[in-house]
Structure 1
Amino acid sequence: MAFLMRLTGSIVKWNEQKGYGFVKPDSNAKELFIHIKEFDWRPEQGQKISFVVGRDKQGRPCAQNAILYGDYLKQQKGSSINYVGFVFIALFLIAMIYLVLSGLLTIWVVPVYVLMSLLSFSFYWYDKDAAQRKAWRLPENMLHLIDVSGGWIGAILAQQRYRHKTKKISFRVGFWLSVLLNLGMLYLISQNQML
């Protein structure tokens, strides 16, 4: 599923008892229905929000995945590119090329990293999409297992592309520990090649 562009608007009607209301987009488009399940706070009439336009079960357009507008602005300001991750990937790739060309590492390691990175990227995409849809999420340990198996390059790219799993400190610590563990295993493999 493609990720939809976020819009901004205001809650112009809200029925607290029934748990639904209507959002008027800033673009002067038609008011959109929104249900209480699309919020992670108690909404009030007049609040400014960011949202995506989706479809309800009958196929009608509605507002989904609401974020309080101030929080949305904070997300936008905090969404700058993390160049540390890209530099780390570049240094790793240079080291990998050196190890393969010098015979310290067999070439079969390269497709393993490529495949695991593609798998990791797709899992992060799925988890981000599931979070937006409020659907079943992947366990964090599953993401760490893929990363420690060589998928951490895809994980860094997905984290930057989808702005996913970049804030939670416990996850970030676990992620970088899985990267270090993977590099440690790669080192042991290269040492065995030398024997």
Structure 2
Amino acid sequence: MRMKGKLVKWDTEKAFGFIAPNGGGNHIFIHKTAFSNRKRTPQLDDVITFTLSKDKQGRNCAADAMYSGEKIQVKQAKSVSKFSIYLSLLFVSAMTIASILGNVPFKLLYVYVGLSLITFTMYSFDKSKAQRGDWRTPESTLHFLSILGGWPGAAIAQQILRHKSKKKEFRFIFWITVILNVTALAWLLSSHGVHFIEIFR
């Protein structure tokens, strides 16, 4: 759920300020990087819509902020990364075909599909918590699920749910987990991992 408020303080030099939410309550911290339109300089009394998030210290802050009147649907649609979705679907499809041909154990395919569903659900829960201002799921937990094999579900969730898709640091670590997982899979399917692959047969 998006919130709405008025910008009551802005430090141009430090590029941050505070929003007074409509209906009252504590002022919400906002950094310029939270705005989708960063070309515009925030001004006092600007009406802003935003989602409630948490910073690294667990404090409330604004995210996905837009000036009142801007079209959120159009901007979000343009930012969806089809590459992540196609890559995930291509990977799962390739695993499925390889399983049918007998090159990959079906149990290993089930592990990837199961973990992807669990990871997608965790992203959904975390976004819901962020919107309510509740205690968030640690990013380390999401990355752990990805490196175990849930990265296809994570990649799809980031784009479909529009969650964790704009944080560069998070995305960087996420793609590292993808590379590590795929590398481990390649080793497992090679002659070096033949003894370990038996676990899934």
TM-score scaled to structure 1, two decimals?
A: 0.67
Asked if the contact 1:20–1:34 (Cα under 8 Å) also holds between the matched residues in 2, the reply is: no
Is 2:101 the counterpart of 1:102?
Answer: yes
Tell me, which stretches of 5 or more residues in structure 1 are unaligned? 24-32, 53-64
Partner of 1:57: none
Q: Does 1:35 align with 2:20?
A: no
How far, CA to CA, are the matches of 1:131 and 1:35 in structure 2? Answer: 17
Q: Deviations over 1:25-46 (max 9, x none)?
A: xxxxxxxx13125x2249x984
Cα distance in 2 between the residues matched to 1:34 and 1:125:
28
> Residues 91, 20 of structure 1: CA spacing in aligned structure 2 closer, same or farther, 3 A cutoff?
closer
Change (3 A) 1:155 1:45: same
CA contact (8 A) 1:49 1:69 kept: yes
Paired residues of 1:113 and 1:150 also in contact (CA < 8 A): yes
Bigger Rg, which one: 1
Tell me the residue number matched to 2:188.
189
Tell me, yes or no, if the aligned pair for 2:89 and 2:152 is still in contact at 8 Å.
no
Query: How many angstroms apart in 2 are the aligned matches of 1:136 and 1:170?
Result: 20
What's the CA shift for 1:91? 2.0
Output the amino acid matched with 2:29. Answer: D
Partner Cα distance (1:90, 1:68) in 2: 31
- Whole-Å separation in 2 of the counterparts to 1:49 and 1:87: 34
Q: Distance in 2 between matches of 1:72 and 1:168?
A: 24
Given the superposition, is the C-alpha separation of residues 69 and 104 from structure 1 closer, same or farther in structure 2, using an over 3 Å criterion? closer
The change in CA–CA distance for 1:34 and 1:185 in structure 2 (over 3 A counts) is: same
With the length of structure 2 as denominator, give the TM-score of the two structures.
0.65
Q: Identity of counterpart residues, as a percentage?
A: 31
CA-based RMSD: 3.6
**Over residues 71-110 of structure 1, what are the superposed CA-to-partner deviations in whole Å (9 max), with x where a residue is unaligned?**
9949662553211012212321232123212222110012
Across the two proteins, how many residue pairs are aligned to each other? 163
Could you say which residue in structure 2 is the equivalent of 1:28?
Answer: none
Unaligned runs of 5+ in 2: 9-17, 32-42, 52-61
**Aligned partners of 1:158, 1:151: CA distance in 2, in Å?**
11
Decide whether the 8 Å contact of 2:120 with 2:157 is kept in 1: yes
Bigger shift: 181-190 or 170-179? Answer: 181-190
Which structure 1 residue ranges, 4+ long, deviate > 6 Å from structure 2? 19-22
- Cα gap change, 1:149/1:67 in structure 2, threshold over 3 Å: closer, same or farther? closer
